[in-house]
With several copies, the nearest count.
Chain A
Amino acid sequence: MAEIHIQLDQDRCKGCELCVEACPRDVLAMASHINALGYQPVEVVAAERCTGCRACYVVCPDVVFTLTRAA
């Protein structure tokens, strides 16, 4: 399923982990580094598993995600 492209605006992420919990496919995890806001941001750890279900986008309070599907 590599056709889904997850674009992360990591510098907006506040590390709340809600997307990680919401992702049914364990695509996401928290990174170990600190971003400009002082939080550990989310990162994509298994892009290939993504189904494009949009859960991450929907639950994220900080509009970190842009999801696209290759046409």
Chain B
Amino acid sequence: MSVTTKEKVLARRPDSLAPAVTHYCPGCGHGVLHRLVAEVIDELGIAERTVGVASVGCSVFAYDYFDLDFVQVPHGRAPAAATGLKRARPDLVVFTYQGDGDMAAIGTAEIIHAAVRGERFTAVMYNNSIYGMTGGQMSPTTLPGMVTDTTPAGRDPAEIGYPFLVAETLAAQPGAVYVARTRLGDMASIVKTRRALLRAFKAQLDGEGFSMVEVLGSCPVNWGMSPSEANAFVAREMVRHFPLGVFRDGPATPPAVAEADGGGGRGTGGNVSAARGTGAQRPAQEGTGRGDA
């Protein structure tokens, strides 16, 4: 069934998405997020110079689903590999696609230092509060009380803390230029996610620094919910622990010096590059954190 030339296309698979059927469970948001990334790449017309870095998690086979050059790297290390790639060929557009376990646990140091140094790639994180691929173990982003394979009595914050907030932590790093958290589920939230991804890739194209979008999504299978229930859980519960919003949007700046003396006049006698202006650094929350963002 091909689309005839007489028709106006309202919606179709983006070119950067390969036609393969994914291995994702029914209703899993990874598929939606893949499509959004592909749409943004198409919109920016950068497919021919984009390289993706696949991480280890359910999205490990992302390389089969995008029609782009791809490399698959060790668990958690996608930001390091992306750094190597981008430093080697700054003309490429580079993005990582990672899970919460991948980025918020084993890959913590790599993502933070990418943000500190202002590496010019875009990190996309699918946060489903669980290790999906290995069968549903706790992640650092698991919600308090959530029962998983390794928190059989529910995550107890008194023992193992509250969820790790990746977007906020990265937004606070000096080399970050765009950091946002969005969610999937309904049409409006998906459209907002697309917009955030577009801004993140644009930030990379501008060459100013590190960009990242954390996307809250479901894992119906390991949560033991129907796809629809799982989406509702994202909208109702996840956002209470992970506020949606843009946490950084502006040129890379050293937060400390900025606070101390307004960002000007620093330098310790060495080759300090021209001081760049102090961008907006406070979270500009889009929604109220109550699931309506």
For A61, the closest partner residue in chain B by CB is B31
Query: Could you tell me the distance in whole angstroms from the C-beta of A61 to the nearest C-beta in chain B?
Result: 3
Q: Is the CB of B11 within 8 A of A16?
A: no
Contact mask A39-71 → B, CB, 8 Å, 1/0?
100000000000010110111111101111111
Q: Which residues of A contact B190 (CB under 8 A)?
A: 58-59
Q: Which residues of B contact A15 (CB under 8 A)?
A: 26
Could you list which residues of chain B lie within 8 angstroms of chain A, going by C-beta atoms? 1, 3, 6-13, 17, 21-22, 24-32, 35, 185-187, 190-191, 220, 226-228, 231
Partner of B186, one of A59, A63, A69: A59
Q: Is the CB of A67 within 8 A of B227?
A: no
Q: Is the CB of A66 within 8 A of B3?
A: yes
Contact-residue size bin, chain A (C-beta under 8 Å from the other chain): 20 to 34
For B22, the closest partner residue in chain A by CB is A62
24 interchain pairs, CB-CB under 8 A: A12-B21, A14-B27, A16-B27, A16-B227, A17-B228, A22-B187, A52-B10, A54-B10, A57-B10, A59-B32, A60-B31, A61-B24, A62-B21, A63-B35, A66-B1, A66-B13, A67-B9, A67-B12, A68-B9, A68-B10, A69-B8, A69-B10, A70-B8, A71-B6
Q: Given contacts A15-B26, A59-B187, are A66 and B21 in contact (CB under 8 A)?
A: no
Q: Which residues of A contact B220 (CB under 8 A)?
A: 16
Query: Could you tell me the distance in whole angstroms from the C-beta of B42 to the nearest C-beta in chain A?
Result: 13
Query: Could you tell me the distance in whole angstroms from the C-beta of B200 to the nearest C-beta in chain A?
Result: 19
Query: Could you tell me the distance in whole angstroms from the C-beta of B59 to the nearest C-beta in chain A?
Result: 12
For A54, the closest partner residue in chain B by CB is B11
Q: Is the CB of A69 within 8 A of B29?
A: no
Q: Which residues of A contact B27 (CB under 8 A)?
A: 14, 16-18, 61
In angstroms, Cα B98 to Cα A9, docked, is 28
Query: Could you tell me the distance in whole angstroms from the C-beta of B135 to the nearest C-beta in chain A?
Result: 19
Tell me the A1-34 residues at the B interface (CB within 8 Å): 4-5, 7, 11-12, 14-18, 21-22
Q: Which residues of A contact B9 (CB under 8 A)?
A: 66-68
Residue among B24, B220, B227 with the highest chain A CB neighbour number at 10 A: B227
In angstroms, Cα B188 to Cα A55, docked, is 9
Partner of A62, one of B7, B31, B187, B226: B31
Q: Is the CB of B7 within 8 A of A63?
A: no
In angstroms, Cα B6 to Cα A37, docked, is 32
In angstroms, Cα B227 to Cα A7, docked, is 23
Residue among A12, A52, A57, A66 with the highest chain B CB neighbour number at 10 A: A66
